[in-house]
Chain A
Amino acid sequence: MEKKNGQIRIGFYICHCGSNIASMVDVAKVSEYAASLPNVVVSKDYKYMCSDPGQEMIINDIKENNLTRVVVAACSPFLHENTFRNATFQGGLNQFYFQMVNTREHNAWVHLEAMATTEKALDLVRAAIYRVAEHKPLERKKVPIHPDVLVLGGGIAGIHSALTLANAGKKVYLVEREPTIGGHMAMFDKTFPTLDCAACILTPKMSAVKNHPNIVLWTYAEIVGLDGFVGSYKAKIKHKPRYIIEELCVGCNDCIEACVYKEARFLDEFNQGLSKRKPVYMPFPQATPQIVLIDPETCIHFKSAKCSQTCVTSCERNAVDLQQQPRFEEIEVGTVIVATGFKPVDARKVPYYGYGNFPGVYTALEVERLINASGPTQGEVVLRDGSHPKTIGIVHCVGSRDKHTNQWCSRVCCLYSVKLAHLLKEHTGADIYNFYIDMRTPGKMMEEFYNRIAEEGMKFIRGRVADIYPDRDDPQRKRLIVKAEDTLIQEIIKIPVDMVVLSTGLEPREDAQEVRRMLNITCSTEGFYIERHPKLAPVNTFTDGIFLAGCCQGPKDIPDTVAQAGAAAAEVLALIDKGYIEIEPNTAYINEEECSGCKSCVPLCPYTAISYIEEKKKAFINEALCKGCGTCVAACPSGSIIQNLFEDEEIFSEIEGILNFRNIQREMSYA
């Protein structure tokens, strides 16, 4: 590549990134080398290219040296491509006369040998310098944004996002899979560190959602498909049959009274199976909306069709409809907030703790219900055998920080264990033992909370519980022995208790992968959705217009969840209020002169953006439908499809740049 086109004047900059890049890449050498490459007029290295002075330098150089192209070697283009495109634009050039070299994430951070890292930087820089010469001026297309928002999940995250957006005057569709909103928070008794009751702070927000004129609340509904792109998504929502006509039900509960089952005999999901419900039921007294539902799994009508259907006849408003079918609805929205939450680890995954075998072993969520005033026992802590516990062991990190279950720390368990210790003490006066690995209490007022509760006479034993088994010496009392090593005194201890509470961790929902595919977002191998950047874009996803809030992104407590939900709402507002979205101009178009009309490309396009025009005998790409994947470009036998930003010439010169390394050895002499 020896052409020295007078028209092309490239400015090259390499960023030290403090010492992130400079410690592994000989930046001065790279800059010196770049200066020797064709068309390069300016070549500099600088400590922080992304800083104001760094950008100013680019802008001034463009003006002073009549640069026509800019190349910056720095971090990943996902981080600062837009920053430098903007600087290029500020300097008076088309923003796409810019190319970025990823010399931090792809280079300095992943290699051990400075020499090889520098050499790789040279190759990548040469590739970018060759490539940028081929760049064409492009314009970002502006498309209008649909102002409506879809929020998936009606837990505290979804509720807070929906209310924030609705208060700003935006129309929100809040879709919740369960028959009521409230999520896990509605099941909790009190919340740490303030010990205010979860219901007292949550239920007003739930009814605000229900009554807000800007919120369309759909419970017992789920998303089954999402098409489109930022600004204009089409979501398909499935309304599952409640067998109750929602508009008619007023929540009077007459049908529940009238059910042919006189006694409630099926496990109540909301109370974690600690109480019973009928086939027709209200999830819990403060359920929002106040609409009953019928569970076809337990209802006689659905099992045998031999029911006298007293529920139907009891309803004055004729709201019971046993023939109801799933209903599908398609809505248009511009943005989506994913707040689908978590699920507690199944305590059976740790079999030696005996959950499911020993009636005295409870999960933390069960205990939340047990101590809740509206729970199955109205807040009286009664064990499954009817007795009251005198000694209680709380086992931390069940399904957390354990390579056999989940490796991560679930963040909330230490604090909710401390909270449960306090509440159980308050309710029962029992002796309480906490078995912990480490006490992790980050966050405002959390350590203070722990210290306060610890002074209430709780016993904290530092050691992971090894085994829980029945006390054979005392068969009457049906006590359990909790065996652990107290690592502070280095002794194995065995403590007999009446009740064991397993502080189960948080994990992704089972269908996280399925939802991820549907929404085209990414998740980690364990199933938590991945944010665009862990620090700088914590609620964005890699798919524009889709945002994350709450525990679907990773375990977090209520304050953090609400903060994140607010942030997601703010990001959505920033998009909507701008009124339009600028989309990457990487779409493809047909060079009609070259097109032979072979139609190879037509069936390849997954978006049916390509059609064949009979009169002209040429293919045609509808730019509005093209998403810019480039599959047709790679397939065109005559090379007559061109993808903006990824033109054949651009990629061929990148290849040439990478491989034109033979000259370096001659040009560069390494000491």
Chain B
Amino acid sequence: MPNHNTEKQWTPKIVAFFCNWCTYTAADLAGVSRIKHAPNIRVIRVMCSGRVDPQFLLDAFAKGADGVLIGGCHPGDCHYIEGNYKCLRRFQLLQKMTTDMGIEPDRLRLEWISASEGDKVRVVVNDMVSKVTKLGPLGLPDKFKSWDEEMKIFEHSIEEKEVFEHV
């Protein structure tokens, strides 16, 4: 059993948001065609990549994802005309922000995969898994814990100081 986030063999956990019409269908096609790929992604189905709220990505990182992948229809092919463009706009902004926060850009990825591109699912997933594996665990939940600890100590020291000053 590969044991996540512990001393044993670590493998990344990647949360994927796939649009119903193109990329989710492509992943189905990969299945029907038995195109083998890395087992590290967990797909959440959304109707359109435009539905992917930046909060979903941040939440996924915060809850322990090592990478987040968004899959949508190719530009010009969106089932809802232009949802993928809106996703792209948000994505670029968000990637800047997460990079500034210290999350490596390779951990957040947007790919256009059409319903017929079962093999592209394999290529993208394998590539992302290998890149994120090289980066190592992101482990935000543990970091949050240690930051909370630090904050407690910090607050405690302030309290002590305040008490001291009062005296």
A→B interface (CB under 8 Å): 76-78, 102, 104-107, 109-113, 115-117, 119-120, 123-124, 127, 517, 520, 522-525, 530, 534, 542-543, 586, 604, 606-607, 627-631, 633-635, 643, 646, 648, 651-652, 654-656, 658-662, 665, 670
Contact = CB atoms under 8 A, between A and B. Distances in A.
B47 A110 contact: no
Nearest to B121: A110
Nearest to B38: A111
B96 interface: no
Nearest to A670: B1
B46 interface: yes
Nearest to A533: B32
A670 B115 CA distance: 37
B161 interface: no
A517 B86 CA distance: 19
Contact of A655 (B15, B80, B86, B117): B15
B31 A76 contact: yes
Nearest to A520: B79
Contacts of A127: 42, 44
Contacts of B80: 606, 627, 629, 631
Contacts of B71: none
B76 interface: yes
A542 B65 contact: no
Most interface-central of B46, B52, B117 (chain A CB within 10 A) = B46
Interface in B1-34: 1-6, 11, 13, 15, 21-22, 25, 27-28, 30-32, 34
10 contacts: A78-B25, A105-B28, A543-B79, A606-B82, A630-B50, A631-B51, A634-B53, A655-B15, A659-B64, A662-B64
Interface of B: 1-6, 11, 13, 15, 21-22, 25, 27-28, 30-32, 34-39, 42-48, 50-56, 59-60, 63-65, 76-77, 79-83, 86, 90, 114-117, 122
Given A517-B76, A629-B83, A77 B45 contact: yes
B51 A665 contact: no
Contacts of A119: 1-2, 39
Given A106-B27, A629-B47, 7 more contacts: A76-B31, A105-B31, A522-B114, A542-B21, A606-B80, A634-B90, A635-B86
Contact of B25 (A111, A517, A542): A542
A105 B59 contact: no
Contacts of B34: 109-110
A648 B77 CA distance: 26
Contact of A634 (B36, B42, B51): B51
B17 to A, nearest CB: 9
A376 to B, nearest CB: 40
B59 A629 contact: no
A522 B25 contact: yes
Nearest to B6: A665
Contact of B32 (A109, A628, A670): A109
B28 A542 contact: no
Contacts of B65: 655, 658-659
Given A631-B83, A670-B1, A124 B42 contact: yes
A497 B79 CA distance: 53
Contacts, number: 157
Contact of A631 (B50, B76, B116, B117): B50
A652 B55 CA distance: 9
B63 A661 contact: no
Contact of A522 (B30, B35, B81, B115): B115
B116 A525 contact: yes
B46 A111 contact: no
Given A102-B43, A119-B1, A630-B51, A655 B63 contact: yes
Contacts of B115: 522, 530, 542
Contacts of A630: 46-48, 50-51, 83
A102 B76 CA distance: 28
Nearest to A665: B3
Contacts of B55: 648
Given A110-B36, A631-B83, A661 B59 contact: no
A296 to B, nearest CB: 31
Nearest to A650: B44
Nearest to A628: B47
A261 B75 CA distance: 49
Given A633-B51, A651-B46, A665-B4, A76 B39 contact: no
A109 B44 contact: no
Nearest to B37: A110
B79 to A, nearest CB: 6
B15 to A, nearest CB: 6
Contacts of A606: 80-83
A522 B4 CA distance: 38
What 8 A-B pairs come out closest when comparing CB atoms? Answer: A105-B31, A630-B51, A631-B50, A629-B80, A629-B48, A606-B81, A634-B53, A116-B39
Contact of A523 (B38, B51, B52, B116): B116
A272 to B, nearest CB: 32
A586 B80 CA distance: 13
A573 B56 CA distance: 42
Nearest to A671: B1
Contacts of B5: 662
Nearest to B1: A670
Contacts of B44: 127, 651, 654-655, 658
A633 B15 contact: no
B4 A661 contact: yes
A631 B48 contact: yes
A517 B6 CA distance: 48
Contacts of A534: 32
Given A109-B32, A520-B79, A634 B59 contact: no
Nearest to A651: B56
A629 B90 CA distance: 16
A658 B42 contact: yes
